Structure 1
Amino acid sequence: MSYECFTVSIEDQVAHIRLSRPEKRNAMSESFWSDLPKIIRDIDDNAQARCIVISADTIGEKPIFSAGIDVGMFGSGGTGGADKNKPQHGADFYNTVRRLQDSFTAIEDCRIPVIVAIHGGCIGGGVDLITACDIRLGTTDSYITIYEINVGMTADVGTFPRILNHMPEGVVRELAYTGRRMNGRECERRGLFNTTYDSEAEMMDAAMAMARDIASKPPLAVYGCKRIITYSRDHDTAEALDQIAVWNMSMLIPSEMMEALMAKGQKRPGNYADLPRVRRD
């Protein structure tokens, strides 16, 4: 299937989703917001891969991972802006923002880990996207900017509730109030990026190697880790401890544990069951 904003490939149990509008600075057009959750949920629901890598096609000496929301959406009514004089404008805008938020929540909610590899500028909505991913890698020439303040907006698609899990509140406030750029090395030092690399090629090699490593692990156990880490982030310790006990009570599979131990001892890949398919109807 072809998409306006993405190319998708799957190999070795790793799905690679690439933002593919470099001539438009990978700006997020209307189709971006509907296609991304469809792609993520299709891969996850149908157990097509065990890990996802998101990256971007870039061009020029000043590459852009994503310039954020496509300004064309403001004129097309895609953000509700065209209806601002109508009585229902507020409710319509609220519904639109919730829909855009859901596009990135699909990343956080999917059962398999998502690694994002950032080359160049990650601006506005791009920051919303990367903060919803499990693991962030960057090049040394990458940067983020919570750009919305520069156009009189408050970032509203997911940056603030998620970036606070990775960086100190004071740093987040500085970025939000000033819109300044934070380069890749500082992102790593502050805890937003796991690692930075000197080149895009080096970063992509590392991202795909990490994804293949994750894909080699028991899928149900990886799913459990993702679910419990996210749950623990949003709940207190007592609630999280109870949740992991209930999870393992329900999901722990002795045969998968034995296979993992045998595979490790025999120095061979494990033969694990895929996650069950998901029906949404």
Structure 2
Amino acid sequence: MEEYKSLKIIQKSPNSLVYYLYLNRPTHLNALSRDFFTEFPKAISSLDQNPDVAVIILAGSGKHFCSGIDLHTLGDVFKETDAVDCGRKVERLRRHIKFLQEAITALECCRKPVIAAVHGACIGGAIDIITACDIRYCSTDAFFSVKEVDLAITADLGTLQRLPSIVGFGNAMELALTGRRFTGSEAKDLGLVSKLFTSKEALEEGVKVVAKEIAIKSPLAVIGTKAVLLRSRDLTVEQGLDYVATWNSGALLSDDLKEAISAHSQKRKPKFAKL
């Protein structure tokens, strides 16, 4: 398995279909370095293409999930544009922002579901990351902030596009304009996270249970559910229904439906082929 500077991939149990992807710069509070933006989409793609992976748990090493983008990474952007004219500066900067965006969007492009397990700080760029995940949980020590406005930046890696559909437009506007810190309890009330756990240990155990439950389901049904929900988010109801009809016209021909019905009638757990 490939080694990364900013990440760590772990399969905690032999033969488990659940893999852990850790943000792994604990001495820097897992701040997002330049390496991260190159490595993250590669790591996500490698897990997506691995038939032994059914579910990915995204977590942070050390005391915090992620403190946001590393300020050195931001500084490097402007160093690269010093020696060129205004037009080229703008084009280069836009291209760089798109590169950063693609690293986060890799989470939605991944067929397999990604569960964010948040403890400690979840600041700025970390909100971009978790809003692109499929399910979010946190512990009571977690705290959040859409911090970019305090750094004189308009958040540009996905928070402003994804957060409103998760917590509602008005709530997203208030959080983004104030940049205020809010707790895990409020994140649960807002719907940013689905469940609040009493400790980091309880979070880890609870997320593992959920991931295992998803991992034993039909992989075609799981990836189809993710794909259809994401596509339907941007479609009318009629268009979404048409899309799922097309999807299922192919997916329902697999052996998974037969196996699910057979297992139910025989009162046993179904066994599905890997993707």
One of 13, 20, 30 as aligned partner of 1:26: 30
**Within 5 Å, which residues of 2 pair with 1:47-86?**
47-59=51-63, 64-75=64-75, 77=76, 79-84=77-82, 86=84
- For 2:235, the equivalent position in structure 1 comes to 235
Q: Distance in 1 between matches of 2:175 and 2:7?
A: 29
Once the two structures are overlaid, the 10-residue window that deviates more, 18-27 or 265-274, is 265-274
- Deviation track 1:37-59 (CA, whole Å, cap 9, x = no partner) reads 10111111232301100011123
Q: Secondary structure at the match of 1:15?
A: strand
| 1:175, distance to aligned residue in structure 2 (A) | 1.0
Identity %: 35
Q: 1:241 to 1:58 in 2, by over 3 A?
A: same
CA distance in 2 between partners of 1:21 and 1:221 (Å): 35
Which one is further off, 111-120 or 41-50?
Answer: 41-50
Query: Which stretch shows the higher mean deviation, 196-205 or 66-75?
Result: 66-75
The alpha-carbon distance between structure 1 residues 265 and 182, as it changes in their structure 2 partners (threshold 3 A), is farther
Q: Which amino acid aligns with 2:93?
A: F
Give the distance between the partners of 1:32 and 1:254, measured in 2 at CA. Answer: 37
C-alpha deviation, 1:82, in angstroms = 3.7
Secondary structure at the aligned position of 1:165 is classed as helix
Q: Distance in 1 between matches of 2:175 and 2:238?
A: 33
1:173-195 deviation line (CA, Å, top 9, x unaligned) = 11111110121111111111000
2:43 aligned residue (39, 47, 54)? 39
User: Is the contact made by 1:80 and 1:96 (CA closer than 8 Å) also made in structure 2?
Assistant: no
Aligned counterpart, 2:134? 134
- In 1: Cα distance, 2:267 partner to 2:5 partner: 43
Deviations 1:207-241 (A, max 9, x none): 11111110100000111100111111111000000
Amino acid corresponding to residue 147 of structure 2 in structure 1: Y
Match of 1:253, as an amino acid? L
**Matched letter for residue 238 of structure 2:** A
Deviations 1:23-78 (A, max 9, x none): 1010011110111110111111232301100011123xxxx211111111133x3x
Q: CA 1:130/1:152 → structure 2, altered by over 3 Å: closer, same or farther?
A: same
Q: Secondary structure at the match of 2:174?
A: helix
Q: CA deviation at 1:81?
A: 4.8
**1:185–1:196: 8 Å Cα contact kept in structure 2?**
yes
> How big is the alpha-carbon RMSD for the aligned residues of Structure 1 and Structure 2?
1.4
Distance 1:168 1:4, change over 3 A: same
Q: Is the 8 A contact 1:65 1:120 kept in 2?
A: yes
When normalised by structure 1's length, the TM-score is 0.92
Structure-2 residue corresponding to 1:105: 105
User: Structure 2: how far apart are the matches of 1:269 and 1:253?
Assistant: 21
Partner of 1:4: 5
SS at match of 2:22: strand
CA shift at 1:269, angstroms?
Answer: 3.5
Structure 1 residue 268: Cα displacement? 3.8
- 1:7–1:18 CA contact under 8 A, matched in 2: yes
- Is the contact made by 1:74 and 1:82 (CA closer than 8 Å) also made in structure 2? no
Q: Which moved more, 1:38-47 or 1:133-142?
A: 38-47
How far 1:274 sits from its partner (Å)?
1.7
Give the aligned partner of residue 154 of structure 2: 154
1:13 matched to 2:17: yes
Q: Is the 8 A contact 1:80 1:92 kept in 2?
A: no
Partner of 2:93: 93
Cα 1:254–1:27 change in 2 (3 A) is closer
CA distance in 2, matches of 1:89, 1:240: 40
Q: C-alpha displacement at 1:2, in angstroms? A: 1.9
Calculate the TM-score normalised by the size of structure 2. 0.94
Structure 2: gaps of 5 or more residues: none
Find the aligned partners of 1:84 and 1:137 in 2 and give their Cα distance.
42
Aligned to 2:211: 211
